[in-house]
């Protein structure tokens, strides 16, 4: 199998998927998994912008500097480039399924499907909430990142 490549996808690519990307980077490093990692949004409103400052602060508290991340929209060639495309909620999974070309190689999944007992659920959008919502996102994406990284490592 070629080197794994994982793309995390939410709506804006400024709150949840950058945190999933950061948590997965930490986990991949911890277990020594050689993997390409990016994030993107199904929407394009925030393309070119850094993550929401509350997401940046949350990541920093957990040892990850995501200030250089820049939002981008998912594109068709992502379905060839990545081995795994992981949606942060069911709505974005449906958007990805609608976008996926027939010849894509990426395995599509929902992030919380990788967490025992949380299958089918979405990570709640913290954009219109307060700081605490970002901490909840961090906890959820970290749990899922651990499970996903272990699963990919076991498949190599």
Q: What residues act catalytically?
A: 10, 16, 125
Q: What is the C-alpha to C-alpha distance for residues 105 and 49, in angstroms, rounded to an integer?
A: 28
Query: Which region, judged by CB under 6 A, interacts with ligand 4NP, from 12-20, 26-34, 112-120, 144-152?
Result: 12-20
Min CB(147)–ligand 4NP separation in Å: 20
Min CB(114)–ligand 4NP separation in Å: 18
Helix axes 131-155, 16-31, angle to 10 degrees: 40
10: contact with ligand 4NP by CB under 6 A = yes
Q: What is the C-alpha to C-alpha distance for residues 156 and 145, in angstroms, rounded to an integer?
A: 17
Q: List the interface residues with ligand 4NP, window 32-91 (CB under 6 A).
A: 45-46
Q: What is the C-alpha to C-alpha distance for residues 138 and 68, in angstroms, rounded to an integer?
A: 18
Q: What is the C-alpha to C-alpha distance for residues 29 and 106, in angstroms, rounded to an integer?
A: 22
Among residues 11 and 95, whose Cβ is nearest to ligand 4NP?
A: 11
15: contact with ligand 4NP by CB under 6 A = yes
């Amino acid at each position: 199998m070629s080197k794994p490549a994982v793309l995390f996808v939410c709506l804006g690519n400024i709150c949840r998927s950058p945190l999933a990307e950061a948590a997965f980077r930490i986990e991949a490093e911890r277990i020594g998994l050689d993997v390409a990692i990016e994030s993107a949004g199904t929407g394009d409103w925030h393309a070119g912008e850094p993550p929401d400052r509350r997401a940046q602060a949350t990541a920093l508290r957990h040892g990850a500097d995501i200030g250089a991340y820049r939002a981008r929209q998912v594109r068709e060639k992502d379905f060839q480039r990545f081995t795994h495309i992981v949606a942060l909620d069911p709505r974005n999974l449906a958007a990805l399924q609608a976008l996926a070309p027939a010849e894509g190689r990426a395995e599509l999944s929902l992030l919380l499907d990788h967490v025992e007992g949380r299958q089918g659920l979405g990570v709640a959008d913290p954009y219109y909430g307060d700081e605490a919502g970002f901490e909840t996102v961090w906890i959820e994406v970290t749990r899922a990142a651990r499970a996903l990284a272990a699963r990919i490592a076991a498949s190599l």
